[in-house]
């Protein structure tokens, strides 16, 4: 059996004899049939950054690589404050989040538009009504039939006006909008509408009060407090005061005659940016309305009617018309 096995492993090109000894077989296997297996180690691709010069050792003694990129977040502490996270601007009334860069930027843009006016570079075709005293200023009339770009600019101004006057009633399709432009900003707006009748305000003298006269009636009452043998007595003096005509108007009540009178133009709303008030901008807008509202006819000061004016509006109407008996009318809010 052994000779057959040795003959099987015999090399054909070898000149050696057919029979091999055990030593020859082991030498042959060591030279030609050694199987060498090698292993290569692939480096693991790490996503961590380069380790610092002096890494911190761990319990096992191996260094720990720390990522130097850290993200920081803004946290807020709630101690029951009323303006937590949101704060309302006392000037423009917008709520914003202090510390939020994007929110503060949007508030700043809106705040500047409200206080200083909306940016306006002008249009190619403008309906300029009159040129005010300053050459750089102008008054532009916008109608409902004008291009959409003109009407969109009016909507931006109306949003500013709604902060003080309320929303949903200022403009409708029959209104004429007058924009006061100064230094490439819209700093004033007047909305006028055609009306048929108005009511005359009753002055305080007609209502049974004397203008510029105040009557003071003194009424005293006492309050006594006693702590043991100590007695405290307090006297309170009450005064009944009759206000003048202008002070009654500022109180918010308007008394009108029962019979209406014929009217043509109604001042639905008038507004000037806070930083541009006391500059006669509202008066110039009213002058433009008188000259252009009715073609071929200039209205008188006393022919303008005002819609439920505020305390500031009352003072403006009385000053512009020269009388406390100006015309008022009720603006129809369903036409918006």
Domain ranges of the chain: 2-31, 87-116, 120-201+249-335, 216-244
- The 10s digit of each residue's pLDDT in 128-147 is 987 677 778 999 999 999 99
Average pLDDT of the segment spanning 246-256: 56
Average pLDDT of the segment spanning 196-210: 66
Per the DSSP assignment, residues forming a β-bridge with 122 are: none
Spatial distance between the Cα atoms of 49 and 90, rounded to a whole number of angstroms: 49
Kindly indicate the confidence band of residue 331, based on its pLDDT and cuts at 50, 70 and 90: confident
Average pLDDT of the segment spanning 99-124: 85
| Cα angle value 8/9/13 (rounded, 5°) | 105
| Residues in Cβ contact with 242 at an 8 Å cutoff, skipping those fewer than 6 apart | 209, 210, 213, 214, 215
The CATH fold assigned to 120-201+249-335 is: Aminopeptidase (3.40.630)
Q: Over the chain, what is the mean pLDDT?
A: 75
Residue 230 or residue 202, greater confidence: 202
Question: Which range scores top for mean pLDDT: 18-27, 248-257, 283-292?
Answer: 283-292
Average pLDDT of the segment spanning 81-103: 74
- The 10s digit of each residue's pLDDT in 138-180 is 999 999 999 999 999 999 999 989 988 888 899 999 999 999 9
Residue 249 has pLDDT above 50, yes or no: no
Nearest to 285 by CA among 299, 272, 266: 272
Per the DSSP assignment, residues forming a β-bridge with 179 are: 140, 189
What is the helix (H) or strand (E) element at residue 240, kind and residue range? strand 230-241
Residue 257 has pLDDT above 50, yes or no: yes
**CA-to-CA separations, 246 to 19, 200, 270, 319, 328, in angstroms, rounded:** 141, 16, 20, 11, 16
Lowest mean pLDDT across 28-42, 101-115, 204-218:
204-218
Average pLDDT of the segment spanning 46-73: 57
Kindly indicate the confidence band of residue 215, based on its pLDDT and cuts at 50, 70 and 90: very low
Average pLDDT of the segment spanning 246-267: 74
Question: Which range scores top for mean pLDDT: 24-28, 227-231, 266-270?
Answer: 266-270
- pTM score of the predicted model: 0.61
Average pLDDT of the segment spanning 258-264: 90
pLDDT at 179: 96
Q: How many CB atoms lie within 10 A of CB 94?
A: 16
CB contact at 8 A, 293 and 265: yes
pLDDT at 100: 77
């Amino acid at each position: 059996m052994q000779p057959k096995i040795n003959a099987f492993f015999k090399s054909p090109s070898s000149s050696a004899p057919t029979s091999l000894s055990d030593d020859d077989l082991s030498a042959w296997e060591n030279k030609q049939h050694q199987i060498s297996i090698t292993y290569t180690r692939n480096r693991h691709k790490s996503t961590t950054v380069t380790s610092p010069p002096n890494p911190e050792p761990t319990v096992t003694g191996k260094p720990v690589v720390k990522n130097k990129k850290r993200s920081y977040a803004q946290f807020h502490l709630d101690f029951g404050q009323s303006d937590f996270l949101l704060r309302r601007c006392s000037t423009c009334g917008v709520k914003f989040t202090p510390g939020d860069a994007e929110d503060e930027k949007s508030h700043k843009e809106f705040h500047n538009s409200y206080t200083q006016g909306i940016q306006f570079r002008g249009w190619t075709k403008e309906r300029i009504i009159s040129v005010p005293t300053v050459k750089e200023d102008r008054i532009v009339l916008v109608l409902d039939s004008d291009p959409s770009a003109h009407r969109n600019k009016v909507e931006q101004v109306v949003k500013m006006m709604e902060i003080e006057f309320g929303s949903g009633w200022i403009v409708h399709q029959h209104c004429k909008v007058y924009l006061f432009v100064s230094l490439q900003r819209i700093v004033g707006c007047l909305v006028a509408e055609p009306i048929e009748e108005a009511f005359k305000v009753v002055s305080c003298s007609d209502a049974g009060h004397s203008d510029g006269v105040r009557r003071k009636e003194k009424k005293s009452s006492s309050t006594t407090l006693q702590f043991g043998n100590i007695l405290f007595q307090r006297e309170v003096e009450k005064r009944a005061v009759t206000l003048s005509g202008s002070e009654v108007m500022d109180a918010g009540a308007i008394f009108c005659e029962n019979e209406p009178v014929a009217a043509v133009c109604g001042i639905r709303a008038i507004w000037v940016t806070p930083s541009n008030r006391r500059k006669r901008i509202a008066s110039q807008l009213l002058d433009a309305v008188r000259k252009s509202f009715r073609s071929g006819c200039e209205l008188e000061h006393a022919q303008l009617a005002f819609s439920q004016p505020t305390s500031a509006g009352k003072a403006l109407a009385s000053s512009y018309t020269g009388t406390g008996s100006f015309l008022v009318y009720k603006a129809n809010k369903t036409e918006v």
